[in-house]
Amino acid sequence: MTDSSGRNGDREQDPREADGDRKNDSRTGRNLPAAVASGVVLVVVVLASLFTYKCLFGVVVIVALGVAMREMIQAFASRGIKIARVPAYGAVVLLPTVAYLAGPIWQLVATGAVLLLAMLWRIRRGVDGYVRDITASFFVIAYLPFMAGFVMLTLAADDGPWRVVVFILLTISNDIGGYFAGIFYGRHPIAASISPKKSWEGLVGSVILQCSVGALSFVFLLDAAWWQGVIAGFILTITATGGDFAESAIKHDLGIKDMGSFLPGHGGMMDRLDSLIPNAFASWAIFTVFLGASFTGAAL
């Protein structure tokens, strides 16, 4: 999501661009006012839906996934890879809904059914590129709607909204800690060939802030032990950073810079979900181990 070294992007910025866009931060090249405004709107929408009716949050998740799926389909199409669109978009609605209403077993059953449908759906276009297209289709279905289903499993718990809040807080803390530590101290890239802007110093900043927020949020929001929050913060730093690198690798392979421009100051929806997606599964697993089973039967 956010960069953790404070360096500019993969290309050098034209001086005329810098002069013409004074709202952009001189160190990061991002339009920070637009990014902050978009972030505030997203937070308000998420919190409002979480603490009114749980199903409204599900709608927010499905809409976000739909936008992200569209970005992924277009990105793959730019390299001649054709995703099975109907099964992919169907999975966006079906898998999070089944996870919330019926639990993890039926989530797996529904995922298997969608993958089988994708195999059959792609046959209509013949055998040329079949393995390439179906492999990519399997990937986007597993990467987006299946993984996002774990957010809905988390939400289904009695204290689900607070678990989701902690999950989001920890992921945001990863971005903020890495962003500012990278700006001021970033010198040593973690993997320059994949994402030259992410540094070891930024990663340390992510760990420190996320473990701190984890300890506080587990104590005050979940009535759990502080050390559980520290463990959660450390694990989610690893999974969030892994998600960042995974999306960077996808974009490098497809030859694109951003997945889209849906969110001003941020890029595409996928550029916001890159660390949330892997953290959705990791946080669900952590909550289940430390706090008990997250699926107790859905309630609207």
DSSP 38-95: HHHHHHHHHHHHHTS-HHHHHHHHHHHHHHHHHHHHHHHHTTT----HHHHHHHHHHH
The pLDDT tens digits for 95-135 are: 999 999 999 999 999 999 999 999 999 998 899 999 999 99
Predicted pLDDT of residue 257 = 77
What is the spatial distance between Cα 98 and Cα 175, in angstroms, rounded to a whole number? 30
The pLDDT tens digits for 189-248 are: 888 888 888 889 999 999 999 999 999 999 999 999 999 999 999 999 999 999 989 988
CB 216 within 8 A of CB 166: no
Going by C-alpha positions, the residue among 269, 272, 210, 197 that lies closest to residue 238 is: 210
pLDDT at 261 over 50: yes
C-alpha dihedral (208, 210, 215, 217), degrees to nearest 10? 150
Burial class (CB in 10 A: 0-12, 13-18, 19+), 92: buried
Out of 46-50, 234-238, 255-259, give the one with best mean pLDDT.
234-238
pLDDT at 28 over 70: no
Per DSSP, 252 falls in state: H
Structure tokens at 292: 């008990």
Kindly report the number of other CB atoms within 10 A of residue 242's CB atom.
15
Q: Is the alpha carbon torsion for 215, 187, 185, 245 positive or negative?
A: negative
Per DSSP, 222 falls in state: S
The pLDDT tens digits for 148-185 are: 999 999 999 999 999 999 999 999 999 889 988 888 88
pTM reported for the whole predicted model? 0.83
- Please state the domain extents for the chain: 31-291
